[in-house]
């Protein structure tokens, strides 16, 4: 019974191992192993039976052996029945194979195999093509083939190329005046074309190296030669300026030279046709005379344009204008040369003599070293246009200028806007610039650029007005509490359309728009007193009936230490009689403006308006534009003083 129990437990373990497998292949494998084990046990039992039967025929000992054999057989038979019974039960409980996963795995394998086959075929095809190309290139000609009596039979394509080029050695050059220029081998391309025909098709027995169809290549070689030896003639022209004599210095004309390109091209083609690839070709270089001799230049040069603007009586500003004129006076520009105002004038510094004068910076009037030089750049711009020269860089001011029609200005600032133009004439030009008696004048000295009777001019027309910015309020205790005084009426902005008018013999040829310019307006400046303390200025008249708290009347010209505020309260301390607010100006081109006023007149008192805080006057660059006010410097000049406003520091 122990043996039967052991065998039964072994069979049960085997059945549990089979059930734990979820894969169909392992299930099949487990079944095979079970069958094999059963077969081995059956074979063993049969052997025991055979041995038992044989022994039984001999003796009693054999009988005992027969008895053991019989017992073993019986046990084996029982074991087989138990095992068979167990297998039958296992088959009934075996899980169904997962056919979906089996199908997916199969499809994936099929796809992978297809991809591998396709890739292999492609690689094989590419390898075959490469082999074919290599074979074609390396195939040695078996047929008798000659190129101009050069036998290439039995040679690969590359070997044939080397042999032909060796036979037709290239060393063609062009020489002139002891100089030599080597030409590019023009036959390499022709040899390659011929060999492609021979090695890629059914070759003929004889070929001729063709030298036709090289016209473009020959022309390129000729152009390269001319670029090295050609030299432009130099016309008689001004070359410098003699400041001591106040005159331009003339330089003599110079001859130029030019390769006869047409002849050189014919000579090269002739050498190619005769297959003289070692030819030395002599170039023909001709002398080119200048269009204008020095004598003719002296007769032709004249002042072709002049423009003048009026300055102010501000001595500091006029000093700056004079120094800028001196910096550009006598400059000579050769054909194609450019002019930059900032580069030529340089930085405006005190070391150079420039002085602090009113100018616009970021929309405010400021004292700036070199203020006013924009008038020189503007005057130069107008002279350049009328001479027929080409302006390349120009920018309008932020505010309207007063010394020139808006739209016809050219602002400059060191490190900022610049004015530039180019000499687009065929000869040198000279600049004359001067300042005298509040007048800035710039002239262009040149051989006339425009045709006879042709004139250039600028015509600027206002397109629209732009509303002025919101008022700027300035706190001032000299203004009676409860009232406001217009210090500067401000101004509107504007937009201008500028046309380049071209006339010939007085008749308009064209009138096209050259550019448009937009200018910002100035914010009105209004004084008011919200402190409740009135501090009259010396000489300021008090209103009739105004008395101090003790009943005494204040004499004219004295301060009022304790005038009641609008709410009836008295200040705790008296104010300094000398405390005052300086005048705020809204100048045009500083020092060249017009007096601004309120509708009621300068200093008019107007009803109190609700307190407002407006942004400072707009502007982002140093300019010279807009209306101004008079100052002690003289009529039309500007003398701005710092004041305190609700927007911060004033001008």
Q: What is the DSSP string of 556-613?
A: TT---TT---TTS---SSPPPTT---PPP---SSTTS------TT-TT-EEE------
Lowest mean pLDDT of 292-306, 453-467, 528-542, name the range. Answer: 528-542
Q: How far apart are CA 552 and CA 563, in angstroms?
A: 12
pLDDT band at 394 (very low <50, low <70, confident <90, very high): very high
pLDDT band at 124 (very low <50, low <70, confident <90, very high): low
Half-sphere exposure of 478 (CA within 13 A, CB side): 23
pLDDT(491) > 50: yes
- Mean pLDDT of the 509-537 span: 93
pLDDT(496) > 60: yes
Q: Give 430-450 pLDDT, tens digit per residue.
A: 999 999 999 999 999 999 999
Please tell me the predicted confidence (pLDDT) of residue 141: 63
Q: Give 456-489 pLDDT, tens digit per residue.
A: 999 999 999 999 999 999 999 999 898 999 999 8
pLDDT(599) > 90: no
- Asked if residues 562 and 570 have their Cβ atoms less than 8 Å apart, the reply is yes
Please tell me the predicted confidence (pLDDT) of residue 585: 31
pLDDT(590) > 50: no
pLDDT(93) > 60: no
Please tell me the predicted confidence (pLDDT) of residue 147: 87
Other CB atoms within 10 A of residue 388 CB: 20
**Which phi and psi angles does 36 have, rounded to 5°?**
-65, -40
CA 10 vs. chain centroid, Å, equals: 86
- Mean pLDDT of the 40-54 span: 39
Q: How far apart are CA 62 and CA 54, in angstroms?
A: 8
What tokens does 65 get? 């052996």
Question: Is 0.75 surpassed by the pTM of this model?
Answer: no
- Asked if residues 503 and 446 have their Cβ atoms less than 8 Å apart, the reply is no
- For the stretch 91-126, what's the b/e string if a residue is b when 16 or more beta carbons lie within 10 angstroms of its beta carbon? eeeeeeeeeeeeeeeeeeeeeeeeeeeeeeeeeeee
Q: How far apart are CA 363 and CA 366, in angstroms?
A: 9
Q: How far apart are CA 94 and CA 207, in angstroms?
A: 86
Q: Which of 130-144, 199-213, 343-357 has the highest mean pLDDT?
A: 343-357
- Asked if residues 333 and 380 have their Cβ atoms less than 8 Å apart, the reply is no
pLDDT band at 363 (very low <50, low <70, confident <90, very high): low
What tokens does 379 get? 């005057």
Taking alpha carbons only, the member of 425, 488, 482, 451 closest to residue 606 is: 482
Structural domain spans, the chain: 2-97, 140-298
pLDDT(611) > 60: no
């Amino acid at each position: 019974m122990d043996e039967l129990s052991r065998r039964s437990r072994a069979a049960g373990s085997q059945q549990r191992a089979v059930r734990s497998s979820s894969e169909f292949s392992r299930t099949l494998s487990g079944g095979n192993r079970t069958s094999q084990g059963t077969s081995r046990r059956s074979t063993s039992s049969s052997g025991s039976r055979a041995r038992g039967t044989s022994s039984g025929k001999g003796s009693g000992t054999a009988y005992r052996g027969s008895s053991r054999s019989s017992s073993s057989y019986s046990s084996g038979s029982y074991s087989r029945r138990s095992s068979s019974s167990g297998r039958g039960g296992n088959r009934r409980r075996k899980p169904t194979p997962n056919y979906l996963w089996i199908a997916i795995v199969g499809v994936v394998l099929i796809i992978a195999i297809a991809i591998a086959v396709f890739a292999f075929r492609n690689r094989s095809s590419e390898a075959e093509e490469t082999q074919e190309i290599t074979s074609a290139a390396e195939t040695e000609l078996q047929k008798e083939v000659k190129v101009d009596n050069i036998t290439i039979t039995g040679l690969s394509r590359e070997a044939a190329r080397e042999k032909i080029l060796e036979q037709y050695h290239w060393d063609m050059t062009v020489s002139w005046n002891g100089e030599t220029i080597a030409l590019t081998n023009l036959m390499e391309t022709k040899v390659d074309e011929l060999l492609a025909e021979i090695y890629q098709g059914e070759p003929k027995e004889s070929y001729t190296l063709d030298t036709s169809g090289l016209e473009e290549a020959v022309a390129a070689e000729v152009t390269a030669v001319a670029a090295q030896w050609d030299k432009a003639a130099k016309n008689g022209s001004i070359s410098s300026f003699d400041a001591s004599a106040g005159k331009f210095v003339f330089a003599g004309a110079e001859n130029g030279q030019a390769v006869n390109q047409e002849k050189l091209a014919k000579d090269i083609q002739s050498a190619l046709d005769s297959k003289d690839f070692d030819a030395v070709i002599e170039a023909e270089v001709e002398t080119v005379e200048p269009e204008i001799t020095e004598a003719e230049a002296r007769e032709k040069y004249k002042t072709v344009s002049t423009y003048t603007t009026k300055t102010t009586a501000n001595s500091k500003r006029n000093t700056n204008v004079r120094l800028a004129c001196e910096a550009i006076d006598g400059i000579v520009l050769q054909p194609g040369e450019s002019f930059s105002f900032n580069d030529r004038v340089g930085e405006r510094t005190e070391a150079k003599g420039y002085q602090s004068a009113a100018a616009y910076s970021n929309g405010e009037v400021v004292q700036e070293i070199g203020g006013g030089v924009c008038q020189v750049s503007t005057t130069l711009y107008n002279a350049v246009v009328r001479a027929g020269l080409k302006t390349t860089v120009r920018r309008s001011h932020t505010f309207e200028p007063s010394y020139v029609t808006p739209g016809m200005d050219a602002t400059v600032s060191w490190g900022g806007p610049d004015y530039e133009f180019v000499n687009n004439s065929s000869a040198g030009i000279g600049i004359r610039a001067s300042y005298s008696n509040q007048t800035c004048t710039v002239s262009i000295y040149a051989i006339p650029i425009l045709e006879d009777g042709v004139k250039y001019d600028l015509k600027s027309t206002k397109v629209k007005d732009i509303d002025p910015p919101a008022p700027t309020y300035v706190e001032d205790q000299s203004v009676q509490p409860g009232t406001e005084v217009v210090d500067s009426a401000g101004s509107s902005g504007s937009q201008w359309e500028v046309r380049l008018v071209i006339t010939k013999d007085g008749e308009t040829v064209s009138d096209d728009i050259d550019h448009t310019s937009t200018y910002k307006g100035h914010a009105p400046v209004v004084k008011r007193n919200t402190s409740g303390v009135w501090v009259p200025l010396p000489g300021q008249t008090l209103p009739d009936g105004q008395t101090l708290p003790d009943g005494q009347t204040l004499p004219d010209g004295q301060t009022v230490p304790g005038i009641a505020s609008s709410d009836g309260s008295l200040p705790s301390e008296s104010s300094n009689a000398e405390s005052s607010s300086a005048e705020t100006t809204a100048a045009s081109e500083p020092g060249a403006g017009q007096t601004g006023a309120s509708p009621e007149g300068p200093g008019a008192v107007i009803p109190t308006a609700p307190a407002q805080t407006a942004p400072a006057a707009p502007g982002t660059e140093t300019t010279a534009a807009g209306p101004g006010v008079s100052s002690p410097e003289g009529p039309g000049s500007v003398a701005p003083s710092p004041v305190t406003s609700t927007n911060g520091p004033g001008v």
